[in-house]
Amino acid sequence: MPQEAFSVDFQTFTGYQNTYKLPTLLDGSGFAAYQNDVGTNEGNDPVYTNPNNFGKGYDWQHQLYRKAALIQNYRINLNVSNNNTSFSMLGSYLDQSGIVNHSGLKRYNLQARLASRPNDRMSFNSSMVLARSESNSVLTDDPNGYGVVTGAYLFSPLLGSSDILNYHVDNDGLPMNDNEGRSLDLLSSHKILNPIALSQYASSFSTISRLFWSSRISYDITDRLSFYSQLGVDGIFNEDFSYFGSVLQPELSVGGVGMNAKQQSFNWFNESYLSYQFIQGSNVLKAKIGAEMQGTLVELLSGQSRGFDNEKLGYYALGSGATKTIGSSLDEVQWFAAMANLDYHLKSTYDINLILRTDASSRFGGDFVFLPALGFNMDLKAAGVLSGEGWISGANFYAGAGRVGNQQIPSYLRFSQLDQSVFYLGNTELKSFVPTRIASDQLQMEISNQFDLGGDFVVRNGFMGSLEYYNRTTTNAFIEMPMPYYKGVASLVTNSGVIRNAGIEMTAGFKNQIGKFDWNVNANIAFNSGKVISEGSSQILYGSNVYGMNDWLIFDEGEAIGAIYGFEINGMVTTAGTDIATLDGEVAKVGTVSYKDQNEDGLIDHSDRVVLGSVTPDLVYGFSTKVSSYGFDLSLLFQGVAGNEIVNFNKVILNNINGTGNISEEAYENMWSATNQQGDLPISTPNDGKIVDQSLVENGSYLRLKYFSIGYNLPKILLEKIKVQGINIFISGNNIFTLTKYSGMNPDVSLFNSEAQNMGADFGGYPSSKLWSIGFKIGL
């Protein structure tokens, strides 16, 4: 326990962020010229007599993203301790504007920690977190392409901020109307909204408040027997408010939609055990027996209201809407494990550890599964294998094997589920119930068998490192198995997959002083190979809907996890009417893409798809270094991944050269035409370009300078004068530099929070940003 001590430090920084990379789109005159080209390709007269008249037009991206989004952060840290108690507290406040206009985040955080040893037998630790975040967000990651990022790609630069919908204009910039006087939408099947208006009038505000508390107590009953218990509770309160203004739906007389949803979740956790220790010379035997249990409860209440006469109040006044809908739900899960643990430390050299545990979860009907594990560790120097006199001063070797269980699936899958709909038969409103899910009554906890082998070492000059090989096989992985449709439901969750993850993890570090420089360097690299050993009965296509494309991932025997499934490209069609098979069965047109007919049946259909890559990386690595000297310190943190592919769905919009929306400059230059036969972008595509093929799959490897900082510590002489322990001034940057071949804005992407269905898809996601900041830290 530390002596009496008291310290306070205060840190603040302020900075600005901007976008890391934006695609270059066509400007006003470029877009008009492009529209002309598309028209003439179809045999029509050019629409615009002089495209250059439009000049630069409206730069949607420029208007949507802030030049410099400010960020400020304040943090205060307090530590107090005396002979047997220490207490620390941390408070922080963050105010961050988003790089997209009308978005931002505020975060408040208070943490406290108490550690105490009231007497020789007892020790007590407690920690608490009180946190709240409030964020204003804009619509991004929308799978239907309605979000602000995709809207900025598509919206015509010939229009301006007061134009809500995307339509054709004529030479004078006036809307072109159809025969019935309605404006001709540029995207006829799909109304894209002005992204600026969307960011302003489709507002969404959400808050998360959290109260977390945990305590542990350890009590020595005798000098060999002790009791330990830990209890934690976590309450999380989410609120989501959104309002979609009626100005965004000009031709519907619905009058705005407001939504207010609240989710309350409560999680508690307890671990208790008795521990017995028996020492004989340099041999120590420790036995533990105990239990772990956890419960989680989530309640959701949401209300939606439409048709507001007066939209001033929005989502706090849902009662004034004309049509109201309410929903609510409850989700509970409980989990219990009993365990016994035996640890034998022999001659201070060998360590053998045996764990016997049995787990059960309410998600599986309370059936217990047995999960044993065995580990072995050898101190090589103490064992005499290593002399310790040489270069390597210490090393350990370890090996282990065991089983772990996983219960992470939605609750209640063991029951069938009936969903209600309300519909009209003629003019009569009727209710109906139909099963949308049948019971997975055979479902069991997923069990993985794992073994690992490794070692770590310390080298004389301050080097250290470790190496580990692991192999984990899950024999009954949860799979959403597709069902034949005559069963009434499309799929059923079962335990029928077998997957294996194997890999090597290495770390290396160096900590020493060389001359006047203090070095602290760390590196880590992890290779992983995840493969499907068996997929149940037949290959499973998954990958949820992105812009009308689904089933773009495949789970199949022998393939990597997260395998991308799509068409391979065979080049461009240069001569018409040949016997090239096409996706729509029509004669191949010159200037279109031809796909490889994999099964050579003369048709191009979904059975001609192949694996085009995998969204999971083969390799993840990081490198950090801190060097300090003469009061200056420099820190760098690099992070990288390699061997993964990203499906860049944004290209379906940016490269869609059929005149219906704006495209990137690069796409216009690559447009295939009789005069530009080197171009590789087709002038027309079936399905509106919504096909997952090779052109969307890009190498997602990247190396990024995630964090760097240069700081200066004021010299002691100055500090003593002001009676302060330390002052540090620093400049830092986040994501300043990224090395990648990926053309999109977010190499570290995943749509929808990296769920398995959508991992590796980039479509209109909130853009990655760079941050520069300056700050200081004072310690008292």
Partner 1 sequence: MRSLAYFIVFLLICITGCKDFLQEENLSYLDEIDFYKTSEDAENAINAIYNLLDDQGAYGASYWRVKGLASDEGLYEGNFSDIATLANASYGSSNSEIKNVWSSFYAVAYASNIVIEKVPSIEMDSARKVVVLAEAKFFRGLAYMELQRLFNEVPLMLDAPFSDSETYLMPQSNKASIQQQVVTDLEHAVTSLPLSSAWGRPNSYAAAALLSRMYFLNQDYAQAKKWAMLVINSTAYSLESDVNSLFKNLNDVNNETIFAITRSFIIILMKIYYLHLWVGQEIIQSHPLF
Which residues in the 218-257 window bind partner 1 by CB under 8 A? 221, 225, 227, 234, 236, 238, 240-242, 244, 249, 252, 254, 257
| Residue 348 or 545 having the CB closest to partner 1 | 545
Spell out, one character per residue from 267 to 306, where the chain touches partner 1: x when CB under 8 A holds, - when not: x------x-x------------xxx-x--x-x-x-x-x-x
Instruction: Say if CB 202 and CB 242 are below 8 A apart.
Output: yes
- Length of the chain equals 780
| Residue 191 or 403 having the CB closest to partner 1 | 191
Residue position matching structure tokens 């065979």 = 570
- Between CA 15 and CA 749 the distance in angstroms is 24
Instruction: Say if CB 556 and CB 563 are below 8 A apart.
Output: yes
Q: Supply 655's token pair.
A: 């490269």
> Among 4-12, 41-49, 335-343, 668-676, which window interacts with partner 1 (CB under 8 A)?
335-343
Written in H, E and C, the secondary structure of 411-434 is CCCCCCEEEEEEEEECCEEEEEEE
H-helix or E-strand containing 29? Answer: helix 28-41
Instruction: Say if CB 137 and CB 149 are below 8 A apart.
Output: no
- Between CA 105 and CA 206 the distance in angstroms is 10
| Residue choice 14, 49, 282, 329 for contact with partner 1 (CB under 8 A) | 329
Span 423-442, contacts to partner 1 by CB under 8 A: 423-428, 430-435, 438-442
Q: Is residue 121 within the footprint of partner 1 (CB under 8 A)? A: no
- Between CA 682 and CA 591 the distance in angstroms is 5
> Among 421-429, 447-455, 664-672, 735-743, which window interacts with partner 1 (CB under 8 A)?
421-429
One-letter amino acid at 736 equals I
> Among 14-22, 121-129, 179-187, 330-338, which window interacts with partner 1 (CB under 8 A)?
330-338
Q: Supply 700's token pair.
A: 């997602």
Q: Supply 362's token pair.
A: 């309410």
| Residue choice 94, 338, 590, 736 for contact with partner 1 (CB under 8 A) | 338
Q: Is residue 202 within the footprint of partner 1 (CB under 8 A)? A: yes
| Residue choice 311, 557, 605, 666 for contact with partner 1 (CB under 8 A) | 605
User: What's the start-to-end Cα distance of the chain, in Å?
Assistant: 21
What dihedral angle (degrees, nearest 10) is formed by the CA atoms of 682, 688, 690, 693?
-20
Q: Cα dist. 411→332, 735, 755 in Å?
A: 7, 38, 17
| Residue 85 or 358 having the CB closest to partner 1 | 358
The CB-of-758 to partner 1 minimum distance in angstroms stands at 10
Q: Count CB atoms within 10 A of the CB of residue 182.
A: 11
Q: Of 637, 635, 605, 651, which is closest to residue 762 (Cα–Cα)? A: 651
Spell out, one character per residue from 305 to 324, where the chain touches partner 1: x when CB under 8 A holds, - when not: -x------------------
Residues in contact with partner 1, counted by CB under 8 A, come to a total of 111
Residue position matching structure tokens 């300090």 = 628
| Residue choice 43, 384, 484, 515 for contact with partner 1 (CB under 8 A) | 484
Q: Is residue 661 within the footprint of partner 1 (CB under 8 A)? A: no
What dihedral angle (degrees, nearest 10) is formed by the CA atoms of 528, 532, 533, 534?
160
| Residue 392 or 691 having the CB closest to partner 1 | 691
| Residue 170 or 601 having the CB closest to partner 1 | 601
| Residue choice 204, 396, 592, 616 for contact with partner 1 (CB under 8 A) | 204
The CB-of-110 to partner 1 minimum distance in angstroms stands at 18
| Residue choice 142, 535, 597, 633 for contact with partner 1 (CB under 8 A) | 142
- Between CA 358 and CA 596 the distance in angstroms is 52
Q: Of 202, 258, 265, 256, which is closest to residue 236 (Cα–Cα)? A: 265
- Between CA 412 and CA 552 the distance in angstroms is 28
Is 385 in a helix, a strand, or coil?
coil
| Residue 431 or 516 having the CB closest to partner 1 | 431
| R_g over Cα of the chain | 31
Q: Is residue 356 within the footprint of partner 1 (CB under 8 A)? A: no
| Residue 391 or 424 having the CB closest to partner 1 | 424
- Between CA 226 and CA 623 the distance in angstroms is 41
> Among 103-111, 124-132, 479-487, 705-713, which window interacts with partner 1 (CB under 8 A)?
479-487
The CB-of-298 to partner 1 minimum distance in angstroms stands at 7
Q: Is residue 483 within the footprint of partner 1 (CB under 8 A)? A: yes
Span 491-530, contacts to partner 1 by CB under 8 A: 492, 494
Span 669-708, contacts to partner 1 by CB under 8 A: 686-688
| Residue 206 or 534 having the CB closest to partner 1 | 206
Span 3-22, contacts to partner 1 by CB under 8 A: none
The CB-of-239 to partner 1 minimum distance in angstroms stands at 8
> Among 76-84, 379-387, 391-399, 584-592, which window interacts with partner 1 (CB under 8 A)?
584-592
Q: Is residue 419 within the footprint of partner 1 (CB under 8 A)? A: yes
Q: Of 597, 598, 569, which is closest to residue 581 (Cα–Cα)? A: 597
- Between CA 148 and CA 154 the distance in angstroms is 10
> Among 4-12, 155-163, 415-423, 521-529, which window interacts with partner 1 (CB under 8 A)?
415-423
| Residue choice 360, 447, 540, 615 for contact with partner 1 (CB under 8 A) | 360
The CB-of-544 to partner 1 minimum distance in angstroms stands at 11
Tell me which long-range contacts 433-438 makes (C-beta under 8 A, separation of at least 24). Answer: 435/488, 435/489, 436/489, 437/413, 437/489, 437/492, 438/487, 438/488, 438/489, 438/492
| Residue 111 or 507 having the CB closest to partner 1 | 111
Residue position matching structure tokens 């408070």 = 91
The CB-of-277 to partner 1 minimum distance in angstroms stands at 13
Q: Is residue 103 within the footprint of partner 1 (CB under 8 A)? A: no
CB neighbours of 52 closer than 8 A, spacing ≥ 6? Answer: 29
> Among 54-62, 164-172, 572-580, 601-609, which window interacts with partner 1 (CB under 8 A)?
601-609
Helices (H), 204-277: none
The CB-of-687 to partner 1 minimum distance in angstroms stands at 5
Spell out, one character per residue from 544 to 583, where the chain touches partner 1: x when CB under 8 A holds, - when not: --------------------------------------xx
| Residue choice 69, 164, 333, 697 for contact with partner 1 (CB under 8 A) | 333
The CB-of-603 to partner 1 minimum distance in angstroms stands at 5
One-letter amino acid at 348 equals S
**Residue 282 backbone dihedrals phi, psi, to 5 degrees:** -100, 15
CB neighbours of 65 closer than 8 A, spacing ≥ 6? Answer: 18, 19, 22, 99, 100, 101, 767
Spell out, one character per residue from 439 to 478, where the chain touches partner 1: x when CB under 8 A holds, - when not: xxxxx-----------------------------------
The CB-of-285 to partner 1 minimum distance in angstroms stands at 15
Is 637 in a helix, a strand, or coil?
strand
Q: Is residue 753 within the footprint of partner 1 (CB under 8 A)? A: yes
Instruction: Say if CB 462 and CB 508 are below 8 A apart.
Output: no
| Residue choice 11, 411, 475, 673 for contact with partner 1 (CB under 8 A) | 411
The CB-of-188 to partner 1 minimum distance in angstroms stands at 10
Q: Of 208, 234, 239, which is closest to residue 106 (Cα–Cα)? A: 208
The CB-of-677 to partner 1 minimum distance in angstroms stands at 24
| Residue choice 3, 120, 390, 486 for contact with partner 1 (CB under 8 A) | 486
Span 21-40, contacts to partner 1 by CB under 8 A: none
The CB-of-582 to partner 1 minimum distance in angstroms stands at 8
Compute the C-alpha angle 299/302/308, nearest 5°.
Answer: 165
Written in H, E and C, the secondary structure of 519-561 is EEEEEEEEEEEEEEEECCCCCEEECCCECCECCCEEECCCCEC
